[in-house]
Amino acid sequence: MSTLTFLGAVGEVTGSRYLLEVDGDPRPHKLLLECGMHQGGREAEEANAVPFGRLAGELEAVVLSHGHLDHAGLLPKLVREGYRGPIHCAADTAELLEIMLVDAAFVMAKDVEWENRWRARAGKPTIEPLYDEDDVARTLSLCEPHGYGQPVQLSGGVTLVFRDAGHILGSAIVELAIPSGGQQRRLVFSGDLGNPGSVLMKPPEKVYDADLVLMESTYGDRDHRPLTETLEEFAQVLEQAHADGGNVLIPAFAVGRTQEILYHLSVLYHQGRLRQQMVFLDSPMAIRVTELYARKRKALDPEDLKVLNIAAHGDPGQYLPVLRLTRTVEESMAINRIRGGAIIIAGAGMCNGGRIVHHFRHNLERPGTRLVIVGFQAEGTLGREIVDGAERVRVLGEELAVKAHVHTLGGFSAHAGQRELIGWAGAFRGKPRFYLVHGEPEAQQALQVAFAESGIDAEIPTYRQRIEL
């Protein structure tokens, strides 16, 4: 009998990883679904550092739903430890990975360099990064991109099909037909389902047949505000910041959220409602991803592209003339001389590193500053501390008072809300078994109750739980 073991994103949003062991003689075929990085505090770092052990050499294939680091960020570590098989992903995900993983290796190297300087002064042994750019290059060489709806044969007689999840460029719902006990069992992994109300991406595809469904539950406890209301609040926040003479800080995930925020700023600009005359995209990775989105226009929602009128060209500056792309450290540092009137979009999205923390240092203690949170903030991150109302936070070794106005705009989420999750799950024929993953316990429990009220039975798995298909 084929089995599935839950190795990550259990009781938490990040660290996606599931082991499939498929019927085989003399031993089962091992496939890994996702290889995500844990994101958060010290516990997440420790979890990421745990070796894969023999698994790295035993795996025959890896299947990836999309390119966000919490789903793909440990792939180079797996390769560093000996994995040499194929990495199956959607075509656009393969291109995103090149940007995401190279950046992750670069940031990791810088963090380790800083840490080792401190360790040398303290007389402690030095450490190594989880992986480096050579590991990333080997990882990218193993990627096998596939189109949506295209059946792919994997080892052990497994058939893979990707469907559009509508979350970010290249995001996929994963369908796997798996031999088990003399029968074919159909496993469907939702991946991260997109928010149908958000812009640029197409709505998530519905899937109708499954025996077992792994279901994300990030926002299982709430619905998002209607986009029109969110946009109006966003416009008012920008107006208030302009009136107060302060800057607007937007910690944005480089893939998906950044491009959506630029879209809405562009619309406000052309409506004459954007008073700020300086919009900085201060993230080399987000800049490269934004340029990739522009090149991949055919994968985006054509109705949204009509609004931007970028169907004929792909230069972001043409639809938002006040946008400035700051690629170098020197350009980023120069922004901190601007005391007001600027919108600064910078990573990391959960404020646990990147250039946004440097802008915090110069803006967080100013009452005129507006901090706009547009994405999920995991436990243990600086962003979560601020959202939960911390009056003082530690940034780059310095304690800062949070005097900025903090606004959380959940309507910009790239994830489906509770209502959309129930609607997607309710499309399945029959009564597949549902397992809720990618959610904090409260969200999972709320979605489990809401599912039950809709006639859907769902279980909440535990770490290392093993189930038969």
Same structural domain, 256 and 394: yes
Domain that holds residue 245: 227-412
Q: In the structure, what pLDDT confidence band is assigned to residue 315 with cuts at 50, 70 and 90?
A: low
Contact 90, 171 (CB under 8 A): yes
pLDDT tens digits along 46-55: 999 999 999 9
- Of the candidates 434, 372, 446, the residue with the CA atom closest to the CA atom of residue 407: 372
Predicted pLDDT of residue 308: 67
Supply the pLDDT for residue 307.
73
H helix intervals, 142-174? none
Q: Residue 325 sits in a domain of what CATH number?
A: 3.40.50.10890
Closest CA to 360 of 250, 240, 237, 245: 250
Q: Are residues 231 and 158 in the same domain?
A: no
Task: State whether 31 and 168 are in the same domain.
Answer: yes
Q: Please compute Rg for the chain using Cα positions.
A: 22
Please write the tens of the pLDDT for every residue from 172-209: 999 999 999 889 999 999 999 999 888 899 999 999 99
For the chain, how many structural domains are there in total? 2
Which CATH number fits the domain that encloses residue 454? 3.60.15.10
Looking at the structure, do residues 362 and 308 belong to the same domain, yes or no?
A: yes
pLDDT mean over 313-332: 81
pTM exceeds 0.85: yes
Amino acid at 232: E
